[in-house]
Chains A and B, each alone.
Chain A
């Protein structure tokens, strides 16, 4: 066997190891997708009172949240949250419409209510949005 052939044969396992490691890196990356999920969080008086995992909702749910000052009706589905009815003055909360973004909390100041989508167990992408 010529020296060149010997060298070639020796290089094969090295090349295989290299290819295998590259494949392993690629596969292990794809094999662990970001397992994050979104939850609709309801804060009353600043305290988190309810947390609903959104991806497990087969259909929209509606909740009536009652406080000393009045009520808000909240709708939550797989992708969005909204406050669709309220007896608060000003109705800023219902005016915010349906929100799909994690960066826009819906707030009802008179009723001290915040409804916001939060990410769990996930790289949040953006850390915040100004504006």
Chain B
């Protein structure tokens, strides 16, 4: 993943133009790579399709969808739908995407006993997670922020398509779910074009269709949390999302202490558990995203219990001692 959350989104309405670099055909399918910047991270896509025109058109459509969803979910852009909600009093009409994501977040939030909590926007702001370098906030400020969080402060009216915040000091931050949701939406666009591909959304992987347009699976690696440049394990996966949460991708160091970006809503500080990285695989990238964050915060035993409530999803936990816990029957190859 790492759900490196929308780092420095401020600077970015800069969804970049797309560039496609076409390369050799594999069989009769063409492939192309493309990079763009959105959601405060770099998105890097490898696309496979029948011809270059189709892939080029697909690239344009993917870019448009990224731009559109950024104006929905951005915590920093003043005029995003989420910011409108965070500034509002009373019920606010929101796009259906916000309701979709909130419902997933609230479900995982509730089943994880609050380990995942999208109402910690004030806390995230305090820690300057979006900006570099970070600061360690005052204990008093952390406690104040913690006094204004809790998912019972969000009221969704699906019929009216409105959301209200019952606490004006509570801010919603969807960074732990929205990137996974983006992958899930982009996947449908890839398939609608008769293409397939690997979407790398700042470390979240969304695999779309099959590499050869038939039934070939994808080979994906899981970064080594102790040496992120290396691959720790390999998996063979079909059309699915693979999201890893770890403490190694976004952090800052101060007086010899390392502060990473995944905050524990119970303590207000970067989470500490026996998990070095939590990977979740499954059909919906938003659910994978939410679950991987919650698992990372919860620690091994509770993480395994949590995933058991989501039968379509599987996990691979790399523990702090280097050992691995994975869903029974998962075909995983661990690098020596």
Contacts of B230 in A (CB 8 A): 101
> B77 interface residue, CB < 8 Å from A?
no
Which of B17-25, B111-119, B255-263, B266-274 lies at the binding interface?
B17-25
Q: Are B207 and A130 in contact (CB under 8 A)?
A: no
Q: A127-B211, A130-B203 are in contact. Are A109 and B198 (CB under 8 A)?
A: no
Interface size on B, residues (CB 8 A): 57
C-alpha spacing A41/B11, complex, angstroms: 24
Question: Shortest distance in angstroms between B220's beta carbon and chain A's nearest beta carbon?
Answer: 5
Q: Is B322 an interface residue (CB 8 A)?
A: no
Smallest CB gap from A110: residue in B: B11
Chain B interface main SS type: strand
State which residues 219-239 of B face A: CB under 8 Å.
Answer: 219-225, 228-231, 234
Question: How far, in angstroms, from A99 to B220 measured CA to CA in the complex?
Answer: 19
Report the bound CA distance from A2 to B33 in whole Å. Answer: 69
Is A51 among interface residues, defined by CB-CB distance under 8 A? yes
Pick the contact of B221: A51, A91, A100, A126 (CB < 8 A).
A126
A-side interface residues, number (CB < 8 Å): 34
- Quick check: A127 and B198 within 8 Å, CB to CB? yes
Do B221 and A130 touch (CB < 8 A)? yes
- Interchain CB contact (< 8 A) of A130 among B17, B36, B244: B244
Residue B184 at the chain A interface, CB threshold 8 Å: no
Assess the B220–A126 pair: CB atoms within 8 A. yes
Are A109 and B219 in touch, CB under 8 angstroms? no
Indicate whether B16 reaches chain A with its CB closer than 8 angstroms. yes
Docked-complex contact B2 and A131, CB < 8 angstroms: yes
Residues in B whose Cβ lies below 8 Å from that of A107 = 37, 41-42
User: Which residue from B19, B23, B35, B242 sits with its C-beta under 8 Å from A105?
Assistant: B35
Contact A105 B222 (CB under 8 A): no
Per-position binary interface string of chain A over residues 71-110, scored 1 when its CB falls under 8 Å from any chain B CB and 0 otherwise? 0000000000000000001111000000111011101011
Whether A125 and B219, one on each chain, are in contact in the complex, defined by CB atoms closer than 8 angstroms, is: yes
Given contacts A112-B16, A118-B33, A131-B228, 7 further A-B contacts (CB under 8 A): A90-B132, A100-B229, A120-B23, A127-B218, A128-B218, A130-B223, A131-B279
Q: Which residues of B contact A (CB under 8 A)?
A: 1-2, 7-8, 11-12, 14, 16-21, 23-24, 33-37, 40-42, 44, 46, 63, 131-133, 198, 200, 203-205, 207, 211, 218-225, 228-231, 234, 242-244, 246, 248-249, 277, 279
What are 21 A-to-B residue pairs whose CB atoms are below 8 Å?
Answer: A41-B21, A46-B35, A48-B19, A92-B7, A101-B230, A107-B42, A109-B40, A110-B11, A112-B16, A114-B37, A126-B234, A127-B211, A128-B46, A128-B221, A130-B203, A130-B204, A130-B205, A130-B242, A130-B243, A131-B203, A131-B244
